[in-house]
Structure 1
Amino acid sequence: MGQQEEMDVESLQKSGRRRGNCLDVFLVISVIFLFVAVAAVAVGGSMAVLELRSKLEPARPSIGVEALKLSGDAPDPVYKMQNFAYLEATSSELKTSTMQWAPVAYGAGTSVGNNFLFDAQQNSLKPKKVGNYFMFIDLNLTCTFNCTAGHLSVHIGDKLTCEVELPAVADKTPVSRKCWTVSRIDGQKLLTQMTVPKEGLQYWKLELSSSRFGMFLVD
């Protein structure tokens, strides 16, 4: 009987060691699997960020680079300007109307690439290619004297809306608003419509050199 009990105890000890070894192997495999999964997610995320960054960074030409502070690197010198358009405001008056824009000299050409049609008479911008476009607008306003409070709204077609709340101030208090979106454009002609209250926004003005509209093809 004593010998049988000793064999049973020894068997239980060996079985316990086997279970312990299996558990150790399982834990090691689980940790390795978790590490590989996390690494794969990290690599995939990094690749996605780099892909998006590679598309956004080239859109920063030497003109108005502060308008696209998407990264801290220098613009890609091989970027093809035909997929980028950049316009600056030409009228400081705030009124319900189509906003007036103009391209800027850039190298031997202008800031409107060959992928776009800009109509200076209608102040419209039309991308020739169908695709997803990053669009942005910067609105910078200054009070000249005893300005009234009011609401300013700017619509770029039905793709982007930028709302600005102007306070009642008596000094040259600047107000800035930056708006952006990514939207699919399929042959639409984009007009920028400004809307102000019926009573107007007296003594407020739009700063021309820092109020701009731009867009570039993402894919």
Structure 2
Amino acid sequence: MHTKLVILDRDGTINRASEEFVTSPEEWHPLPGALEAISRLNHAGFHVVLATNQSGLGRGLFDMAALNAVHAFMLKSLAALGGRIDAIFYCPHAADEGCNCRKPAPGLLHQIEERYGIALKGVPYVGDRLRDMQAAQAAGCAPHWVLSGRHARGDVNSLPAGFPPDTQVHADLAAFVDHFLGNAATPQHGMAPTVSP
């Protein structure tokens, strides 16, 4: 059975990215249209999973109880709109710990492959940072860059240096879903970067 899967980053893709870290439900604020976009993916038959770096754990800035509370709030907010996230894969390590799961390493995506028993070739991975796109490329995913994160810079009509050449560009998660569901019946591979308004 073929699993219809979409993989998302969290901070800057689903919710506003904080200058520090999102450490409590009170600090978690969904981006406009993001939760509705996930619900639309679900209703189109797609499973949605998260792959997110959470180095604040490794740095001692928050604990597992705080992370679980944030995710419980996120899932409750999403359920109120008829959506769901099937699983959350996260890297708890600080940048200097040398793990293989902190993006841009593809370890989180390999964990998803193992959990679902599928190859991720062509599966969309949506994120707001270069390291998301690099992880996507390393795991064989289709990289989709959203400009809703606080690190987005430059002209939305062109890719910055270092991005995988097949990266597609979208204003935000809702724009990605508009594009993706519009093309889901006829996937296009090897296309030049496209920009969603």
TM-score (norm 2): 0.29
Q: Could you say which structure has the higher strand fraction?
A: 1
Q: Could you say which structure has the higher helix fraction?
A: 2
